[in-house]
Each structure stands twice: as structure tokens, then as C-alpha cells.
């Protein structure tokens, strides 16, 4: 026995059929050609099903017209009033079009870039303010394409199937196989992360998708593990993000690292001290600050902050806390030790 079509899918099929009919569709045509109505076991069952669906669509505001044949009063058909069903003319203000432009720039993946570009081109063509995109120039967040690993991981998260992959650790450069129960995919700091349970370590861990080398292999049956308790997942997320907030004290070259400057906070009572009590009274600090600005930036994830600072090269020097400075130096040493063809640990 073929599986019956869900009522919601049957309703959608009916809408598509009635929108695309050239003139009208009779009940016989609907029963034989619209998927879902062939499931009716009898004429009476079909009549009840069709009448119920018509009422539902009309309650949803979809204008279904009853059309009588020209020669026979009993020859009744149906169609959707195209004019009443169509959206009204779109009249966007410059600010609204600018926000849509900003949203479309969020996704850099090629799979959706073409569609969003085409849609915005049409909206700008009917709008009165082609300069609207300039209102948000330079403000768009970016999420880099996740690569070939995203698709298999997304399917594994949904089906709760175990995955294995080869991963390069950012802190050490070590490359090894990981076996993970995938819980959640997240976009953070311009990249994609997987949060899940590492079976070898027996604990929750996070993995940046750009550091996965080679294919992701999905193994085992669906439902191989239970979805994590919301409290467990929240604790894993909190642990991954670094827990409590800290303040990075940075020496930044003038007119550089604007993203860091945008998140900067003022000093408390003029003190130049990090939250863990580490001061800045060290040899050479005064010389570093001679031609730089002192910038204090809140952060929660030590690893993420170290990677962000590393991306600015010598434009940013970490003064405190020491743990952040050591993390940046460790990443620099790992990058220096890698072969020139393999690239560094950060995403680029």
C-alpha cells in the first residue's frame, strides 16, 4: 500500500493545481490529477475531503472561484482568482531595502547567493531608492561557506547518527580522527561550528568545520543516540563559549582593527588591569603604547578571541590577560611550524 499523502501536502497540491489551470478544474480532474485525492476510498469520501479542503483554503484567505461551464449548468469547475491572490505592489522605503540587502549579504554560500542576488535585483527595479544599499555598506555580517562537511553533518544532526572525521586542532596542529554524536550546528564569528559529544573523550566538545580535513562519514543507524537534555546542551554551549566574560587589553595601531574597536568598552575607574588581576606594568609596555591605542574588548571564548586577534597580524598586540597572549603566541608557533602549502590553523 502506498503511503497516504499528508493533508497539508494535499492542500498545497490543490493550490498549485488551481493556480496553474488555464481556465478551471472539474472535480473529476481534481480527483484524478491532484496528488492526495486519489486516496479517497469512495465518491462520498472524496466529496467530504474536497469540500473540507475548499473551506480550509478560503478560511486562509485563498480566493477559490466556482466556474460554471458555458453550455451546461451542472458542469462546475474551480480555479483561484489570480488578481485577488497576487501580492500587492511592493513599495519599499530606502531603509527597508537596505535591511534586505544587509540580510542577503549574510550568506556567502554559492547555493543561495544566486537566488538572493536575483531577488534583490527585482526589488531594486521596482523601488524608488536604488541607493538604499549604501545605507548599510560595510555593516554586513559574514558567514563563510562551510564546505563539503556541512551537508553530511546537518543530516546527521537531524537523524541523530554518529559521524567520524579527521580534525586539525587549532591549539596544537594535531591531526586525528574524531567520533562524535552531533548535537547542533552554529554560526559564530564568521564560521560554522559543530557542538557534540566526543565518544573518545567522553565529553562535549566543539569543532570548527573549516578545520575538518577530508570527508565526513556518517555511520550507524538513525536515532543512535538520544538528543541531549536542554540543560546539558546549554551547559555545553556555555562551556564552549568560555563561561564568564573577560576583558582583553589590546594595543592597536591607529585606524586598524575596526571590528575590535566597535566592541570596545571604557576602563573602570581608569584602571589598566585585566579581570584576573594581571597588571600591565611590564618592561616594554610603554614602548608598545607609544604609537598605538589602548583598546579594551570583552570576550568569553579564549580560543575565538585568540584567533580573531591573530588575524590582524602585528596591528594588534595583546597586553592582558596573559592566558590570551599565550594563546595567540601558541597559534603563531603552530602556524610557523606548518609547511607553507598546508596553511595556518586559522580560517582564511
Per-domain boundaries in the chain: 7-85, 94-136, 150-238, 246-337
| Residue 134: φ, ψ to 5° | -65, -20
Q: Looking at the DSSP assignment, which residues form a beta bridge with residue 158? A: none
Q: C-alpha grid cell for residue 19?
A: 493556480
Residue 25 class from Cβ within 10 Å (0-12 exposed, 13-18 middle, 19+ buried)? Answer: buried
Largest CA distance in the chain: 100
Helix (H) or strand (E) holding 119: helix 110-126
> In CATH, what is the architecture of 150-238?
Roll (2.30)
| CB distance 185 to 150 below 8 Å | yes
CATH code of the domain occupying 7-85: 1.10.10.10
Report pTM: 0.41
The pLDDT tens digits along the chain (348 residues) read 456 778 888 888 899 888 888 788 899 899 988 888 988 889 999 999 999 999 888 888 888 888 886 665 567 889 988 777 776 666 666 666 666 665 655 555 544 555 566 665 655 555 544 444 444 444 445 555 557 888 889 889 888 999 999 998 866 778 899 999 999 887 665 568 888 999 998 888 888 888 899 999 999 898 999 888 887 777 776 655 545 678 999 999 888 888 888 888 886 544 444 433 344 544 456 666 778 889 999 887 777 788 888 888 888 999 989 989 998 998 888 777 766 544 443 343
Q: C-alpha grid cell for residue 261?
A: 574597536
Q: CA 225 to CA 61: how far, in whole Å?
A: 43
Closest CA to 104 of 95, 113, 96: 113
| CB distance 83 to 65 below 8 Å | no
Q: Which strands, in side-by-side order, build the sheet including 76-80?
A: 25-26, 76-80, 64-68
Amino acid at each position: 500500500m502506498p503511503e497516504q499523502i499528508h493533508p497539508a501536502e494535499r492542500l498545497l497540491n490543490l493550490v498549485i493545481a488551481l493556480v496553474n489551470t488555464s481556465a478551471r478544474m472539474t472535480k473529476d480532474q481534481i480527483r484524478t490529477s491532484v496528488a492526495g485525492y486519489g486516496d479517497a476510498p469512495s465518491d462520498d469520501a472524496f466529496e467530504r475531503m474536497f469540500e473540507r479542503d475548499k473551506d480550509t483554503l478560503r478560511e486562509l484567505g485563498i480566493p477559490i472561484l466556482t466556474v460554471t461551464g458555458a453550455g451546461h449548468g451542472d458542469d462546475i469547475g474551480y480555479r483561484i482568482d489570480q488578481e485577488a491572490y497576487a501580492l500587492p505592489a511592493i513599495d519599499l522605503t530606502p531603509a527597508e531595502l537596505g535591511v534586505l540587502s544587509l540580510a542577503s549579504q549574510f550568506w556567502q554560500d554559492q547555493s543561495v547567493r544566486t537566488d538572493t542576488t536575483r531577488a534583490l535585483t527585482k526589488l531594486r527595479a521596482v523601488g524608488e531608492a536604488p541607493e538604499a544599499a549604501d545605507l548599510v555598506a560595510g555593516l554586513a555580517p559574514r558567514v563563510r561557506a562551510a564546505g563539503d562537511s556541512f551537508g553530511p553533518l546537518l543530516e546527521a544532526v537531524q537523524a541523530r547518527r554518529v559521524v567520524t572525521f579527521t580534525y586539525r586542532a587549532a591549539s596544537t596542529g594535531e591531526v586525528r580522527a574524531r567520533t562524535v554524536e552531533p548535537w547542533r550546528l552554529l554560526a559564530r564569528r564568521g564560521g560554522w561550528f559543530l557542538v557534540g559529544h566526543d565518544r573518545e573523550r567522553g565529553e562535549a566538545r566543539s569543532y570548527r568545520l573549516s578545520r575538518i580535513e577530508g570527508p565526513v562519514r556518517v555511520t550507524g543507524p538513525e536515532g543512535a543516540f538520544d538528543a541531549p537534555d536542554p540543560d546539558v546542551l546549554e551547559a555545553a554551549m556555555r562551556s564552549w563559549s568560555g563561561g564568564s566574560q573577560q576583558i582583553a587589553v589590546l594595543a592597536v595601531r591607529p585606524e586598524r582593527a575596526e571590528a575590535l574597536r566597535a566592541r570596545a568598552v571604557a576602563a573602570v575607574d581608569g584602571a589598566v588591569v585585566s579581570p584576573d588581576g594581571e597588571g600591565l606594568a611590564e618592561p616594554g609596555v610603554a614602548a608598545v603604547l607609544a604609537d598605538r591605542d589602548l583598546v579594551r574588548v570583552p570576550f568569553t571564548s579564549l580560543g575565538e578571541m585568540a584567533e580573531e586577534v591573530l588575524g590582524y597580524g602585528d596591528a594588534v598586540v595583546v597586553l592582558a590577560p596573559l592566558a590570551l597572549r599565550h594563546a595567540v603566541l601558541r597559534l603563531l608557533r603552530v602556524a610557523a611550524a606548518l609547511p607553507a602549502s598546508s596553511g595556518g590553523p586559522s580560517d582564511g
